[in-house]
């Protein structure tokens, strides 16, 4: 717990961030190191003012479709890693994906997020055809892809087919920390090159990082905040680290919901127009995690549109929340819970509004 003098200094840094939307990296580290519930509450107050100036209290919903649980990678934290022989693998057919989008459209979704492991079966031909079909059926909707690292040519083809956004979490901005969480063939340098390619092509780009991952320090988190400041992405997805029982990190402690919400507030102050999700991981660790994220400055939720059996198999981490208000069919319940805290779920593509 920081001293009263230290907390007052940190409040001044929060105020400075709210005005300038940037800080030296050592000041970010000071804010991260000085976390306390009272400082987080102050940052949340400033974040809500900032969010309301751009988006009001609107909450944008995205229909999440987990299209494949196959992955060629072997990341140490992920339940979909190729070494997990107990994982139940599946791929959704294009017909099922389109049917889910039709259902989602009727429920009020105007953005569909196609997420999957880095599955070689998700070829450009298949995915471009699927994107075109979704856009043909629902031309007023946005299509977001989250399919990992691909070539510039692949990203371009998917964009030309009609994809609007691409989510690619960088996971950590520190190269050594990145190497400790990923197999040797994956590098932070290549991940960042992919993000640059996506931005150059014209996507609305999203990055993001885990909070509380093994080996993370205030310095690595400060680097994450500085990276977001420099990239100025349209979206940033962060969530607490949650272990999976079939990974090398199975016995590591989960990240903190309160600390994650504090970082959400700082991200909102860094980029007022950020599309900032209250992630499923928050709801996994805390039944009120979505609400806590919104009260910290978030403005996006991603209920699950996937078929029920697929939701249970797409097990990135243990006990993933995918029922109730986390499911697309629970949209009315989600809306009610958002109204309770003064937020309003809207039928909208929810594009980023740049300053």
CATH number, domain of 26, equals 3.20.20.70
- Residue 327's pLDDT is 63
CB 53 within 8 A of CB 304: no
Per-residue pLDDT tens for 188-247? 999 999 999 999 999 999 999 999 999 999 999 999 999 999 999 999 999 999 999 999
Residue 326 predicted with pLDDT over 80:
no
Q: What sign has the CA pseudo-torsion 161, 164, 170, 171?
A: negative
Q: Which residues contact 324 (CB under 8 A, 6 or more apart)?
A: 330, 333
In a domain, 36, yes or no: yes
State residue 143 phi and psi, 5-degree precision.
-115, 125
Structure pTM? 0.96
Helix orientation angle between 25-33 and 4-20, rounded to the nearest 10 degrees: 130
In a domain, 353, yes or no: no
The Cα 258–Cα 36 span in angstroms is 9
pLDDT category at 329 given cuts 50, 70, 90 is confident
In a domain, 355, yes or no: no
| Percentage with pLDDT > 90 across the chain | 92
Q: Three-state secondary structure along the chain?
A: CCCHHHHHHHHHHHHHHHHHCCCCHHHHHHHHHCCCHHHHHHHHHHHHHHHHHHHCCEEEECEEEEEECCCCCCCCCCCCCCCCCCCCCCECCHHHHHHHHHHHHHHCCCEEEEEECCCCCCCHHHHHHHHHHHHHHCCCCEEEEECCCCCHHHHHHHHHHCCCEEECCCECCCHHHHHHHCCCCCCHHHHHHHHHHHHHHCCEEEEEEEECCCCCCHHHHHHHHHHHHHHCCCEEEEEECCCCCCCCCCCCCCCCHHHHHHHHHHHHHHCCCCECECCHHHHHHCCCHHHHHHHCCCCEECCECCCHHHHHHCCCCCCCCCCHHHEHHHHHHHHHHHHHCCCEEECCCCCCCCC
Strands 63-68 and 111-116: parallel
Residue 9 predicted with pLDDT over 80:
yes
State residue 186 phi and psi, 5-degree precision.
-105, 130
Range of the domain at 248: 4-346
Strands 111-116 and 204-211: unpaired
The Cα 294–Cα 260 span in angstroms is 12
Domain count of the chain? 1
Q: Which residues contact 251 (CB under 8 A, 6 or more apart)?
A: 243
In a domain, 111, yes or no: yes
Per-residue pLDDT tens for 12-46? 999 999 999 999 999 999 999 999 999 999 999 99
In a domain, 247, yes or no: yes
In a domain, 354, yes or no: no
In a domain, 352, yes or no: no
CA distances from 194 to 169, 170, 204, 277, 353 (A): 11, 10, 13, 21, 23
Q: What sign has the CA pseudo-torsion 209, 1, 38, 340?
A: positive
CA distances from 165 to 118, 124, 275 (A): 17, 16, 12
Helix orientation angle between 25-33 and 257-270, rounded to the nearest 10 degrees: 150
For the ranges 21-35, 200-214, 260-274, 312-326, the lowest mean pLDDT is seen at: 312-326
Per-residue pLDDT tens for 78-137? 999 999 999 999 999 999 999 999 999 999 999 999 999 999 999 999 999 999 999 999
178: nearest Cα among 277, 77, 289:
77
In a domain, 51, yes or no: yes
Give the mean model confidence (pLDDT) for residues 273-299: 96
């Amino acid at each position: 717990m920081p001293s009263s003098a230290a907390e007052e200094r940190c409040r001044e840094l929060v105020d400075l961030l709210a005005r300038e939307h940037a800080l030296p990296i050592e000041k970010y580290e000071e804010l991260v190191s000085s976390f306390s519930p009272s400082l987080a509450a102050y940052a949340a107050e400033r974040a809500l003012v900032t969010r309301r100036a751009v988006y009001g209290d609107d909450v944008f919903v995205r229909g999440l479709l987990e299209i494949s649980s196959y992955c060629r990678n072997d990341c140490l934290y992920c339940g979909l890693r190729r070494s997990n022989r107990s994982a139940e693998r599946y791929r959704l057919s294009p017909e099922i994906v389109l049917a889910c989008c039709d259902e989602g459209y009727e429920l009020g979704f105007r953005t569909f997020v196609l997420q999957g492991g880095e599955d070689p079966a998700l070829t450009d031909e298949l995915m471009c055809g699927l994107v075109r079909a979704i856009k043909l059926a629902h031309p007023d909707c946005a299509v977001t892809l989250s399919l990992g690292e691909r070539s510039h040519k692949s990203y371009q083809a998917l964009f030309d087919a009609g994809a609007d956004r691409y989510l690619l979490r960088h996971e950590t901005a520190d190269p050594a920390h990145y190497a400790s969480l990923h197999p040797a063939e994956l590098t932070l340098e290549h991940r960042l090159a992919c993000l640059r390619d996506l931005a150059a092509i014209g996507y609305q780009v999203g990055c993001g990082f885990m909070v509380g991952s093994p080996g993370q320090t205030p310095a690595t988190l400060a680097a994450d905040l500085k990276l977001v400041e420099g990239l100025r992405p349209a979206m940033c997805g962060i969530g607490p680290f949650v272990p999976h029982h079939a990974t090398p990190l199975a016995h590591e402690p989960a990240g903190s919901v309160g600390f994650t919400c504090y970082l959400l507030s700082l991200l909102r102050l860094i980029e007022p127009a950020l599309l900032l999700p209250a992630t499923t991981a928050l709801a996994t660790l805390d039944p009120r995690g979505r609400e806590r994220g919104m009260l910290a400055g978030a403005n996006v939720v991603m209920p699950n549109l996937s078929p029920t059996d697929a939701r249970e198999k797409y097990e990135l981490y243990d006990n993933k929340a995918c029922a109730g208000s986390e499911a697309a069919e629970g949209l009315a319940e989600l809306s009610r819970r958002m109204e309770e805290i003064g937020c309003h779920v809207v039928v909208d593509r929810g594009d980023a509004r740049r300053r």
